[in-house]
Structure formats: C-alpha cells, structure tokens
Structure 1
C-alpha cells in the first residue's frame, strides 16, 4: 500500500507535494517551460484580482465612513427610552385621572 501524500497541519484537506513531472524523457525539463508559462498567467490573474479587491475595499471604507457620519445624527438609546417613558407616564396619568379631566372639561361620561 502506498503512503498517503504529505498532509500539511494534519488537516482533512491533503496537499500533495509530490512532483508531477514524468521522470525520464528526452527533454530533461519535464515541461518546465509550459508550467512556468501557466504560473505566470495565473500570477497575472492574481494581480488583477488583488487590484479589484483594493478598489472594492476603498469603496467599502468610504461607505463605512459615510454610515458612521449618518449614525452620529441618530438619537441615543437613552433619549428614545426617555421619550417612551414620558409618553407612557402621560398616558397612564390620563387614564388614571380620566373622570377628573372629564369633569373639569364639562364632559360627562355616558353610561
């Protein structure tokens, strides 16, 4: 039974680090020129992708700055809960003193 390929960090994903060129042959380079050309083409794609990522990250950073500026103008939690508390207290007082308010205004409750 053949040994499994070297496993980096003993993770489930195995990285095969064995060479993939054929041993022997007349050229001696094992297709090295073609492999290098493929690596160079892949590197150009990586460079293009990194440039796109940089552009995208600048856009994200600009949007985050705008969002931070917009958030500063929003009311705080303390203000919102304070307003709810005051409105709730006013409604509770109106319900509690409903008959006195009706008498003061000269409106009699209907039976």
Structure 2
C-alpha cells in the first residue's frame, strides 16, 4: 500500500524544475496536489470497502448450495398438473363417488 502523498512526491520529482506548476489554471497541473490528495483518500475508502468483500465467495457458495435444494420449475409444473387433474377428476366423477358412498 502506497503511503499518503507518495504520488505527489513522484509527480514533483518528475517535473522539470522540481515541482508542480502553481495553481491557477494555466496548465494541466492546476491544483494537482489537492486533487491527488483527494484521490488518495478516496482510494483508501475504496480499499477498505473491498476488504469487507473478502467473505463474498463463501457467502456465494452457501447461497448456491441452498438454491440447489429448491424445487425445479419442472417439478412445480408437474405438481400443479397433478393437483389440477385430481380436482378435475373429483368434479367429473363427483356424482358417481357420492352414489358409491351412499
């Protein structure tokens, strides 16, 4: 991990004359030190957020295992068709079933 401000020192060393142009918008280096400092601070925030995602592969594997045990679409369609067939048979043969019971 780069220490804060190291990019600024690198840019200052590469610039002919020893440093960045002064701010004022007269070139591409205007207010560069503040911008680089903000970017470095933001990258620290991003890096800490990425560290929190370290357990994500384990959580994804657990979820995948749980989903593997769920009923498939084919099973659900088959169960619904069977249930509807039983209801239709009871409706169609209801009078004959009542005659057998009485």
TM-score relative to the length of structure 1:
0.55
Aligned length: 77
Alpha-carbon distance in 2 for matches of 1:39, 1:91: 72
In the other structure, the counterpart of 1:69 is 65
Uncovered stretches (5+) of structure 2, i.e. residues with no partner:
1-20, 24-29
Match of 1:79 in 2: 75
- With a CA cutoff of 8 Å and minimum separation of 6, indicate the structure with the bigger relative contact order: 2
Deviating 4+ runs (over 6 angstroms): none
User: Distance in 2 between the 1:42 and 1:74 partners?
Assistant: 48
Cα distance in 1, alignment partners of residues 76 and 36 from structure 2: 59
The SS at the match of 2:69 is: coil
Indicate the structure with greater helix content: 2
**Is 2:54 the partner of 1:58?**
yes
**Alignment root-mean-square deviation, CA:** 2.6
Alignment match, 2:86: 90
State the TM-score, normalized to the length of structure 2: 0.59
Q: State the distance in 2 between where 1:53 and 1:36 align.
A: 25
